[in-house]
Amino acid sequence: MPPVVLLLGPLRSAVSGVSTHLNLLFGSALAGRFRMVQFQVGSAGRVETRLGWLARLLASPFQLAASIMRHGVTIVHINTSLDARAYWRDLVYVLVAKASGARVLYQVHGGAVSAFCGTHPLLARATRLVLRATFRWPDVVVVISQIEYEAVSALAPRQRVVLLPNGTDVEALAARRQDAAPRGPLRMLYIGRLVRTKGLYESLQAIARLRAQGLQTRLAIAGSGEEEGGLRDAVAMLGLEKEVCFIGPAFGEKKRALFEEAQVLLLPTYHREGLPYALLEGMAAGLVPVVTRVGAIPDVVEPDVHGLFVPPRDPEAIARALGALAADRALLARMSEASRERVATSYSVERLAGDFTALYRVLVGPWSASKAA
């Protein structure tokens, strides 16, 4: 029997980067080499009262221990982020998993050590001491960006820290593409959660500026979230009803159709990003990213080769970047092909599954590698 890996994360049908990550792992060759089981954590995809949330939170460590024993779990793969709520919750899961005799892989998907520690000198020092201690508890810490690899390695030099970027299903996304037509509106796509820190309000302001300059654009906003009402109000206030449409959450064929229709992936985020799956999926489908230097985005996108960088919270810079792409469709076509090639060669789901296979095998130790082949 192959070793059992218990993966902690939200409901797999939820709109979440970690849900996408879990779906990719469960659908990859990894699932044929190890017996993979999910233990659902977090609020994403749940409908519950405050009292129900508290009851679930209190019961979940005991439920985790029971699940480890029931399934004979060898590895507990915790998917977390450097967000205070997720960090403290998942720290308890690390202790439970270790006490139950399992090996612990602790994967940090988002947030930054510097932001988590804050700017107050005493609090930052205390937080760093806590992180230094707790990063030693898992058997391995996995990060997805170069900057966090350096930060975590500096904090916990005796811990095994592995840089293992996300991947995506390149073949499924490499669909038929519309040409970067020399005329017509520049077609843009945003896909993800509708929250203020994703740069959507600034994007709307940029589109309004471009329209005032006589440049035609179209933006499809796919997703849902707390800012949907505010964004719809902003579209109405700016008079962008012809330029902007709201698609709602998009999965499967609907998502692929959106990728086929668009030319540019608009993601001028200042959120606590790790490595956004929207970026990898969009680039795999040939979209040219307009992005910020946040999280692992600079690890993937080379400026003026795959896409364009803009400063956070800067509508004028977004407008300039979009204007440049609209004016030079040959550049847009070259960047589209370069983006597709970048993801295909370095960020495929096959590479992701291979990396985790190697890491899981290290954690299970003497278990025969031939049985996982």
Q: pLDDT digit string (tens) for 31-41?
A: 999 999 999 99
Do the domains 170-346 and 4-167+348-372 match in fold? yes
Residue range 143-172, pLDDT digits in tens: 999 999 999 999 999 999 999 999 999 988
Strands 217-222 and 288-291: unpaired
Domain ranges of the chain: 4-167+348-372, 170-346
> Can you name the residues that pair with 77 across neighbouring β-strands?
7, 105
> Within the chain, where are the H helices?
17-26, 30-33, 50-71, 84-99, 113-117, 121-134, 146-155, 170-173, 200-212, 228-238, 252-261, 277-284, 297-300, 315-327, 329-346, 349-364
pLDDT tens digits for range 47-89: 788 898 889 889 999 999 999 999 999 999 999 999 888 999 9
User: What distance lies between CA 219 and its chain's CA centroid?
Assistant: 21
Interatomic CA distance for residues 279 and 266, integer angstroms: 9
For residue 179, pLDDT beyond 90: no
pLDDT at 368: 42
Phi, psi of 106 (to 5 degrees): -110, 105
Contact 311, 292 (CB under 8 A): yes
CA 18 to chain CA centroid, Å, is 7
- Could you read off the pLDDT of 349-371 as tens digits, one per residue? 999 999 999 999 999 985 444 44
Q: What is the mean pLDDT of the chain?
A: 93
Q: 4-167+348-372 is classed in which CATH architecture?
A: 3-Layer(aba) Sandwich (3.40)
pLDDT bin (cut points 50, 70, 90) of residue 180 is low
Owner of token pair 């489908």: 285
User: What is the reported pLDDT for 371?
Assistant: 43
Is the per-residue pLDDT at 22 higher than 90?
A: yes
Model pLDDT, residue 46: 77
Residues 6+ apart with CB under 8 A from 221: 190, 194, 200, 231, 244, 245, 246, 247
279-329: pLDDT as tens digits: 999 999 999 999 999 999 999 999 999 999 999 999 999 999 999 999 999
Q: What is the rounded CA–CA span in Å between residue 195 and residue 139? A: 34
The angle formed by the CA atoms of residues 368, 371 and 372, to the nearest 5 degrees, is: 100
Nearest to 336 by CA among 212, 105, 225, 178: 178
Closest listed residue to residue 244, CA positions, set 267, 225, 220, 262: 220
Give the tens place of pLDDT for each residue, 181-239. 667 899 999 999 999 999 999 999 999 999 999 999 999 999 999 999 999 999 999 99
Q: Which residue has the tokens 């810490």?
A: 141
Q: What amino acid is encoded at 148 in this protein?
A: E
Task: Give the SS3 label for residue 141.
Answer: strand
- SS3 helix, strand, coil % of the chain, rounded to 5? 50, 15, 35
Q: Using alpha carbons, select from 98, 102, 71, 77 the residue that is nearest to residue 1.
A: 71
CB 263 within 8 A of CB 186: yes
Calculate the alpha carbon distances from 62 to 51, 73, 152, 204, 222 in Å.
18, 15, 29, 47, 38
Fold of 170-346: Rossmann fold (3.40.50)
Sign of the torsion formed by the C-alpha atoms of 177, 183, 184 and 190: positive
